[in-house]
Amino acid sequence: MKTSVPIEERGYVNSDILVTTDWVAQHKDDKNVRLVESNEDILLYASGHIPGAVQVDWTTDLNDPVTRDYLSAPKFAQLMSKIGVTPDTTVVFYGDKSNWWAAYALWVFSLFGHKKVKLMDGGRAKWEAEKRELTRDIPKFESTDYPVPTRDDSKIRAFRDQVLEHVKATRPLVDVRSPLEFTGERLHMEDYPNEGALRGGHIPGAANVPWARAANEDGTFKTADELKAIYCEEKGLKKDDDIVVYCRIGERSSHTWFVLSHLLGFEKVRNYDGSWTEWGNLVGAPIEKP
């Protein structure tokens, strides 16, 4: 397996947003650091996790139980207080699937303005591959008085009406799903139930760049030059473009949002979390197929 280039040598605009497994091993007990594991498979955490890590479940912790939206600002403050986080706490996310859900959780935290966020490069799989310590002990932290924030959906989140305007204006869209989802042959990834939308295809004008192209085999991120070759040279994206990324429910596109925004420094990238489960069910929404 190819050895990853050290983070500081990869040419990222914001290399500080990533930390290594070594860094986590050295800082996991720091009082001003909170490790957060967020997985697609919610049973993984109970089977063993990095010592000191708390679990943030994308379904029960980050989403409203009734409305298809994220938790309210008061509920977010309650969550942060429960896991012992203050506005000055550095929250380090990691998880399965090459950090899909970890990037998604980081994106949601960013909606609420928590600035001290990082991603552990390579995620849970890299930690396990290095045979590092895992525990089943659930950490307990003293509750904090986290102030109720203001959630800002205007900068990094896109809604369906905004996407419709985006299509009309022929601005760039990036569909990060698999090629078969992009063509409409499937409504979900392979090895998953083929469900979630009434129609298949993609949003008109979207370019297909499967999210996993940004990652190496070990789940770490490719270098800036490798990423630029994909997004800039191959797809023609520019740093000052107004870009919308999407997938099926917003988790894979959070990974691409992270790459474009934090690693390559693109100035305006929004994640359309309604994604294909919304667009593929919208009455009258335009759809393209090859």
Domain boundaries, the chain: 7-129, 160-279
Rounded Cα–Cα distance for residues 110 and 270 (Å):
12
Cβ burial, residue 163 (10 Å; 0-12/13-18/19+): buried
| 7-129 matches 160-279 in fold | yes
What CATH architecture applies to the domain 160-279?
3-Layer(aba) Sandwich (3.40)
Give me the pLDDT at residue 196, please: 80
Q: Which of 215, 247, 249, 269 is catalytic?
A: 247
Q: How far apart are CA 35 and CA 29, in angstroms?
A: 9
- The separation between CA 252 and the C-alpha centre of its own chain, rounded to angstroms, equals 6
pLDDT at res. 2: 56
Q: What is the pLDDT of residue 122?
A: 97
Which residues, given as ranges, of the chain have pLDDT below 50?
Answer: 1
Amino acid 194: pLDDT: 83
Provide the token pair at 219: 């789940």
Question: Does the active-site annotation cover 232?
Answer: no
- Residues 249 and 133 sit within 8 Å (Cβ to Cβ): no
What are φ and ψ of residue 49, in 5° steps?
A: -145, 170
Read out DSSP for 243-288? EEEE-SSSHHHHHHHHIIIIIS--SEEEEETTHHHHHTT-TT---B
Q: Which two tokens stand for residue 169?
A: 């204006």
Instruction: Give the tens place of pLDDT for each residue, 166-218.
Output: 999 999 999 999 999 999 999 988 888 888 899 999 999 999 999 999 999 99
Closest CA to 121 of 139, 98, 105: 98
Q: What is the pLDDT of residue 60?
A: 93
Kind plus residue range of the DSSP H or E element containing 107: helix 100-111
Do 14 and 227 meet the contact criterion of CB atoms below 8 Å apart?
no
Which CATH code is given to the segment(s) 7-129? 3.40.250.10
DSSP states of 42-83: TTHHHH-B-TTPEE--TTTTSB-SSSSSBPPHHHHHHHHHHT
d(Cα 228, Cα 266) in Å, to the nearest integer?
Answer: 11
